[in-house]
Every structure is written in structure tokens, then in C-alpha cells.
Structure 1
Amino acid sequence: MTRRTDVVVIGGGQAGLAAGYHLRRLGLDFAILDAQAEPGGAWQHAWDSLHLFSPAAYSSLPGRLMPPQPGETYPDAAHVVAYLADYEQRYELPVHRSVRATGVHRDGELLRVETDSGAWSSRAVISATGTWSRPFVPTIAGRTEFQGAQLHTVEYRNASELAGKKVVVVGGGNSGAQIAADLAHDTDLTWATLREPRYLADDIDGRALFDHATARRRALDEGRTDTRGVASFGEIVAVPPVREARDSGLLKAQPMFTRLTRTAVTWADDTTVEADAIIWCTGFRPALSHLAPLGLRSPRGRIPTIGTQAVGEPRLHLLGYGDWTGPASATLIGVGRPAREAAHEIHHRLAGVPRHCR
């Protein structure tokens, strides 16, 4: 049996919940399909020491401020999970678990969402599946020959699992810096990065990042020169554990190695470091395989959008995958505005209101 609704939201993490909030306010009939068994999205799978970049009040979804976490300026992942679960209940959002979307298909005037537990038909779809389920590991010589443990960011939990071991952390972004800092005291650490790590000023946190992302998007929309916003000053937010490890001399990055052997990593000059484990903090790709039947992806792997709306399928909106689907839309504080825009666009289109009349 195929169930019917106005809007299907695919993904029950922060982006899906923000979309649900605005769809609820507009009075639309909708369903949120979440592949996870519990609330909290990707936050419930984060490593133990992960904290937000911003205070709670600056890390909130629309309509409900995140309460502060006692004793913490920057809330941890467990606090975020509790907040998202409360948010879902407070607004009585219709989340269906565990339901994994396997394909979105055109079906006349409707879109049909196939899942592992039946099909849904709707007049619009919001895809909000994020990136956490698609970890990226680069191709490098010898990676399949390495006999030690290989973990991606998604699999790392805490330093105690690797205490006393020779560990190589790969990646010069925020996750690489935070996990390297987490391991710096209890392991024989090597931190490998493509470029010299670029730290933002110590007083910059998520509040400033969001403000800069918003200003950058405004400048681009107005045809002004792209200044790259805060990214022009650095890439790594110096959260307290990272700052402490850096200032104590424990975070010293090495250039990226060129190959792996059975027991070590090796550089172009044949310098070799033995390793028991490698942690790949090398990012993610958008989880878009469920949209493959629509044939919308460009050669670069993204789906072209105007705002959140897919260029090749106006009934589809993409939310929370990065700046290409809204400034800072992959963050708690940043997803609210593009979620509102997507919900209003859908509402107007379903009501038959021409764009120029809005």
C-alpha cells in the first residue's frame, strides 16, 4: 500500500526537523522518514569528546532555544541529541522510524518515495539526509595492504580504545584537529595534513562562522566579489581542547604521506613511521543515492539548485548539505533560514501562487 501526503521529508536529523517545524506552521500535511532508530540524527554517533563550536543559545533550531548544558560553555553531542529529541516531541513532528528511503521517482504529478517499508506519494519532497552516512576515504597507494586498524571519523569513539598505540590521524579540518587533540596525550601520535593547519583566531566560534557565512552569501547574491568569508583567515576552530594541545606543542602536523605499507606510513623521501591504526578524518560526501532515479546529478556529483530547489525537478528541495543548499545549512543555527524558505516555496507552489505574485 502506498501512503499519501503533501510533503515527504527524507531524513530526521537537524535539517529534517527544521523543515518539519516550518511545514507544521504552514499547515501542510507531511511525513518525516528517518533511517535512524532513535532521535538525534548523526549527533548520536559522534565521538565522545565532541562539543559544539558555539554556546547553546547560538546552536538552536527555529522556535526553540537549546537550553545551556550545566558546567559547559559549548554543549557536547549527548546534549544535542537530547535537545533534538525534545524538539521533535515539543512540535509533535510526524517522524517515522526506522524507514530508509531507497529511491525517489517521478509518478505523473506526484513524486513516489520508495522505502524499505513501503512507498509514499507526495506533491513535494525535501531531501535532508546529510553526509554522515557517506564517509570519504582518499585513494592512496598501499591502503588495502595496511594490516593495522583503519577508522573513519564516523567510527572513532575515544582515546582509551587506542591508548599506548602508534596512531596516525589524517586530515587538517576541524574533525582531524579535534581527534588529534583527543589522542595527543595517550598515544604516539602522528598528524598528517595536506596543508599546514590554519587556525582561526582563538575568539572565533560558531557565532562568527554563521555571521560570516551569511554575509558571504549576501555578497554573492548581490554580485560582489567573493571574499570567502571567515575561511580566508583559517579553517580550524580553536576549541579549548585543540587550543590546549596546540599551545603545549602536542599538535604538530606533518605533510601528507604518499603510501602505506603493511605496518607503516611512508613519505616521498622514504621517511617511515610505524602505525598500529590510521584514523581518516577526510570528510564526507552528500548522501544522495536515493535521488538517483531522478537523474539530476551534475558531473561534479552535486544536484544543481536555486536556493534549496532542484533546478531539474522543482518539486524537490535539498536541505542541509552545505552552503550550496543555504548558507551554513549543515549547522544547527544555519539550517533554520533555508528550511523556512523551502517550506514557504513548497506551500506557495502547492497553493498555485505564481512566483511573481509572492
Structure 2
Amino acid sequence: MTQRTDVVVIGGGQSGLAAGYHLRRLGVEHVILDAQTAPGGAWQHTWDSLRLFSPAAYSSLPGRLMPVQADEVYPDAQHVVSYLADYEKRYELPVQRGVWVEAVHRDAVFLRVETDSGAWQARAVVSATGTWTRPFLPAVPGRREFAGRQLHTVQYSNPAEFAGQRVIVVGGGNSGAQIAADLAGTADLTWVTQRPPRYLPDEIDGRALFDAATARRQALDAGRTDTGGVASLGDIVAVPPVRAARDAGLLAASPMFTRLTAEGVVWADGTESPADAVIWCTGFRPALAHFASMRLRGTRGHIATIGTRAVDEPRLHLLGYGDWTGPASATLIGVGRPAREAAREIAQLLSA
């Protein structure tokens, strides 16, 4: 049986909910299909100590401020999950859970969304699947030879399971720094990065990052010189646990090793170090396999967009994958504006 609606939103995390909020305000009929069985998106699956970069008031979706978490300046992941669950309920967003979208096809005047529980026909689609389900592992020589444990950021929970072990954390971004700080003092830690860690000034948090990303987009749109955005400030937000580990001398980064062996790693000078585990904090790629048949993807798996709208398919909008779909659009505070713009464009398309 095929169901029909004006808009199908794929993904019920923060980006999908922001899209639903604005579509609802515009009176656009839609459904939100989410593969998760509970609210909260990827925030349900983060490591235990993860905290936001910004205070609650600066980490909110459109329409509702995130409540302050008691005794915490920077809310933890479970607080975000609770907020998203409340947000979905408050605005009566039409989320259908446990629905896996398998493919999207062009179907005459409609886009046909195939799922594991039936098909939908829609006049427009918003893809908001994020990146968490597509962890990236670099092609480091010997990676398949290593006999120890290898895991990605998405599989890390807490330091207890690594107590006393020799652990190598790979990655010079926020995830690498936070997980290295989490393990410091519990495991025999080695933190490796492609280049020396670049910490943002201690007073900078997510508020300043959002402002920097927005200023860069405005400059580019106006044809002015590229400001560099967030990358010009640094790679690592010095959240309190990272700052404490850094200041205690526990976050001394080493240059990247050249290869893995069965027992450990080989460094550039030829010396070897044994290891029990390697944690790859090496980023993600956009989860867009459901568009494979439409042949829209280009460089680095991205779909070319103007704002959030796909260049080669005007009925498709992409939301929350990074700056290429809106300044800071992969953040709670940043997704609101591109979600609003996408909803407005879709409403105009439907009325035409």
C-alpha cells in the first residue's frame, strides 16, 4: 500500500524536528519517518560524558528554549534527549518511528519514498539523516592486521572498559580531544593527531562558533573575502573536561603513526609501541545512501545544493549535514534558520 502526503521528512533527530516545526507552522501536510525506535536522534548513542559546547539557552531548536539542567552549565546528552522528546510531543509532530527508508525515486510528479514498512508518495522530501550512522575509518596501512580492539567514536561509551589498557586515540577534533580527556588517568593513553592540536580560546563556546559560521556564510553570499569561519578559530572547543586534562599535562598529542601491526603501531622513526585498543575519532560522512538511484551525489558524497535545495532535484532539501546545507546546520541552534528557509521554499513549490 502506498500512502501520500505533501512532504516526507526522513529522519526524526534535531534537524527533522526543526523541519517539522516550520512545516507545521506553514500548514504543510507532512510526515517524519525515523529509523530510531525512541526520540532523541543520535544523542541517544553518544558516550556517557559528552556535553554540549554551549549553555542550554544557546542550544535550542526554534520555538522552545532548552531548559537549564540543574547544576550544569553545559547540558549532557541525556538532557538533550529529554528536550527533543518533549519538543516532539509539545508541537505534536507527526513522527513515525522504527521506519527505515530504503530508497527515494523520482516517480512522475511525485518522489517515491520506499521504506521497510511500505511506500510514500510526496511532492517534496527533506532529508535529515545526519552523519552518525556513517562513521569514517581512514585507510591506514595495517589496519586489518591489528589484533587488538578497534572502535569508532560511535562505539565508545566510557573509560571503565579500558582501565589499565594501552589505548591509542586517533583524531585532533572535538571527539578525539574529549575521548582522550575522558580516558586520561584511567588508561595508558596515547593521543595522536595529524597536526598539533588547535584549541579555541577558553572563553569561546558554541555561541561564538555559530556566529563565526554565520558570518562566513554571509560574507560568501555577498561576494566578500572568505572569513574562514569556525576553522579559522581552531579545531577543539576547550570544554571543562578537556581544559582540565590539557592543563594537567594529560593531553600531549603525538604525530600520526605510519602503520598498524598485529601488536600495535609503528612511528615515523621506525620505533614500535604495543597497543590493546585503537579508538578512531576520525569523523563521519553524510548518510545519503537512500538517494543512490537518483545519482545526485558528487564530491565527498555531498549533493550539490543552493541553500538546502538540491541543484538537480528542486523537490529535495537537505538539512543538518554541515555548512554545505546551512551555517552550523549540524548543531541544535544552527539548524533552525535553514529549516525555516527549506520549509518556506517547499511551501512556495507546493503552492505553484
User: Which residue type is aligned with residue 77 of structure 1?
Assistant: A
Query: What residue number does 1:83 align with?
Result: 83
Q: After TM superposition, list the pairs within 5 Å mapping 1:24-43 onto structure 2.
A: 24-43=24-43
Aligned partners of 1:230 and 1:11: how far apart in 2?
Answer: 26
Aligned partners of 1:147 and 1:320: how far apart in 2?
Answer: 37
Matched, 1:12 2:12: yes
Query: What residue number does 2:171 align with?
Result: 171
Q: Is the 8 A contact 2:309 2:317 kept in 1?
A: yes
- Once the 2 structures are TM-superposed, how far is the Cα of residue 233 of structure 1 from its aligned partner? 2.5
Q: After TM superposition, list the pairs within 5 Å mapping 1:231-310 onto structure 2.
A: 231-310=231-310
Aligned partners of 2:25 and 2:31: how far apart in 1?
Answer: 14
Cα distance change on mapping 1:230 and 1:188 into 2, 3 Å? same
Query: What residue number does 1:335 align with?
Result: 335
Query: What residue number does 1:213 align with?
Result: 213
- Once the 2 structures are TM-superposed, how far is the Cα of residue 268 of structure 1 from its aligned partner? 2.2
Aligned partners of 1:58 and 1:24: how far apart in 2?
Answer: 23
Aligned partners of 1:248 and 1:210: how far apart in 2?
Answer: 29
Query: What residue number does 1:203 align with?
Result: 203
User: Which residue type is aligned with residue 251 of structure 1?
Assistant: L
Q: After TM superposition, list the pairs within 5 Å mapping 1:85-164 onto structure 2.
A: 85-164=85-164
Aligned partners of 2:298 and 2:185: how far apart in 1?
Answer: 44
Matched, 1:224 2:250: no
Matched, 1:318 2:318: yes
Aligned partners of 1:84 and 1:233: how far apart in 2?
Answer: 30
- Report runs of 4+ in structure 1 exceeding 2 Å deviation: none
- Once the 2 structures are TM-superposed, how far is the Cα of residue 294 of structure 1 from its aligned partner? 1.2
Aligned partners of 2:230 and 2:264: how far apart in 1?
Answer: 36
SS at match of 1:168: strand
Aligned partners of 2:230 and 2:339: how far apart in 1?
Answer: 23
- Of 300-309 and 318-327, deviating more is 300-309
- Once the 2 structures are TM-superposed, how far is the Cα of residue 346 of structure 1 from its aligned partner? 0.2
- Once the 2 structures are TM-superposed, how far is the Cα of residue 197 of structure 1 from its aligned partner? 0.3
Aligned partners of 2:88 and 2:45: how far apart in 1?
Answer: 18
- Once the 2 structures are TM-superposed, how far is the Cα of residue 293 of structure 1 from its aligned partner? 1.4
SS at match of 1:245: helix
- Once the 2 structures are TM-superposed, how far is the Cα of residue 332 of structure 1 from its aligned partner? 0.1
Identical counterparts, % of pairs: 75
Query: What residue number does 2:182 align with?
Result: 182
TM-score, structure 1 as length reference: 0.98
User: Which residue type is aligned with residue 49 of structure 1?
Assistant: S
- Of 271-280 and 151-160, deviating more is 271-280
- Once the 2 structures are TM-superposed, how far is the Cα of residue 299 of structure 1 from its aligned partner? 4.3
Q: Is the 8 A contact 2:325 2:338 kept in 1?
A: yes
Spell out, residue by residue over 1:62-105, the C-alpha distance to the aligned partner (whole angstroms, 9 max, x if none).
00000000010000000000000000000000101100111000
Aligned partners of 1:318 and 1:133: how far apart in 2?
Answer: 16
User: Which residue type is aligned with residue 172 of structure 1?
Assistant: G
Unaligned runs of 5+ in 1: 353-358
Spell out, residue by residue over 1:1-20, the C-alpha distance to the aligned partner (whole angstroms, 9 max, x if none).
00100000000000000000
Spell out, residue by residue over 1:241-283, the C-alpha distance to the aligned partner (whole angstroms, 9 max, x if none).
0000000000000000010111111112112111100000000
Aligned partners of 1:14 and 1:79: how far apart in 2?
Answer: 13
Aligned alpha-carbon RMSD (Å): 0.7
TM-score, structure 2 as length reference: 0.99
Aligned partners of 1:272 and 1:100: how far apart in 2?
Answer: 44
User: Which residue type is aligned with residue 110 of structure 1?
Assistant: F
Q: Is the 8 A contact 2:7 2:28 kept in 1?
A: yes
Aligned partners of 1:112 and 1:344: how far apart in 2?
Answer: 22
- Once the 2 structures are TM-superposed, how far is the Cα of residue 229 of structure 1 from its aligned partner? 2.2
Aligned partners of 2:72 and 2:170: how far apart in 1?
Answer: 28
Aligned partners of 1:106 and 1:264: how far apart in 2?
Answer: 49
Q: After TM superposition, list the pairs within 5 Å mapping 1:38-53 onto structure 2.
A: 38-53=38-53
Q: Is the 8 A contact 2:215 2:227 kept in 1?
A: no
SS at match of 1:244: helix
Q: After TM superposition, list the pairs within 5 Å mapping 1:339-358 onto structure 2.
A: 339-352=339-352
User: Which residue type is aligned with residue 223 of structure 1?
Assistant: G
User: Which residue type is aligned with residue 229 of structure 1?
Assistant: G
Aligned partners of 1:63 and 1:80: how far apart in 2?
Answer: 15
User: Which residue type is aligned with residue 349 of structure 2?
Assistant: R
Q: What is the aligned residue count? A: 352
Aligned partners of 2:70 and 2:206: how far apart in 1?
Answer: 19
- Of 295-304 and 146-155, deviating more is 295-304
User: Which residue type is aligned with residue 17 of structure 2?
Assistant: L
